[in-house]
Structures are given as structure tokens and as C-alpha cells.
Amino acid sequence: MAITHEEIFGPVSALIRFDTEAEGLAMANDVAAGLAGYVFTRDVSRVFRVVEALNCGIVGVNDGLPSVAAAPFGGVKDSGLGREGGHQGLDEYLDTKYVCIGLA
């Protein structure tokens, strides 16, 4: 289905059954886009494993709307590069210079 491989913007949700956590993560990451991913669980260990394994820019844990103005917003893969919002959003407008001075 197109909804499983394209970035869909709208009030829609696709539900796909899987048997193992690894299988679910493989399906979630097997897409060209990577804006947001979601996990709903009460298992704190699973939260950390899934958040680390999801290849996306935003992860909602037990939250269907994880985006807020003060947090960085952006994706990976075909969903973009860089972030908007938060202090990370300012990085695109800055030229950082590192200076190291050895004092003898």
C-alpha cells in the first residue's frame, strides 16, 4: 500500500500487524522517509530500545502529537536535513568557529 511507503500528511493511521519487536522495527525503517515514528508501550526497556532503533527525526512515546514549538522539528532520509525550532534550529544560521590557543 502507498500509505506504508510514502509520507502521508493528513488525519490517517495505518495499522499493520507484526509478531516481534524486530519485525515491527524493520517495517518501520524500511521506508524512504523518516519524519516521525511512534511507539505505545508500558515497558520502559522497550521504549529505550525502540527509540534508539527507529530511523526518524521525531519519536512520540505514548503520544500521538509529540511536536511542540520549543523542541527541534525535522526528519531524516527523504524527510529533510536539519531542524527547525529549539536551539538546534539556530544552528543553520550560525557559522561556528573553534579556536584552540596553546599557552606555553
* pLDDT tens, residue by residue, 1-42: 888 888 877 788 888 999 999 999 999 999 999 999 999 999
Q: How far apart are CA 47 and CA 38, in angstroms?
A: 10
Q: What is the mean pLDDT of residues 46-54?
A: 95
Q: How far apart are CA 19 and CA 34, in angstroms?
A: 23
Task: Kindly tell me if the per-residue pLDDT of 49 is higher than 80.
Answer: yes
pLDDT of residue 56: 94
- Domains, the chain, with CATH or none: 2-93 (3.40.309.10)
pLDDT class of 101 with cuts at 50, 70, 90: confident
- 98: its cell numbers: 573553534
Pairing of β 36-39 and β 58-61: parallel
Q: How far apart are CA 87 and CA 37, in angstroms?
A: 22
Counting every residue written for the chain, the total comes to: 104
Q: Which residues is 59 bridged to in the sheet? A: 37
pLDDT of residue 53: 96
pLDDT of residue 10: 78
Q: What is the mean pLDDT of residues 31-56?
A: 93
- 41: its cell numbers: 508501550
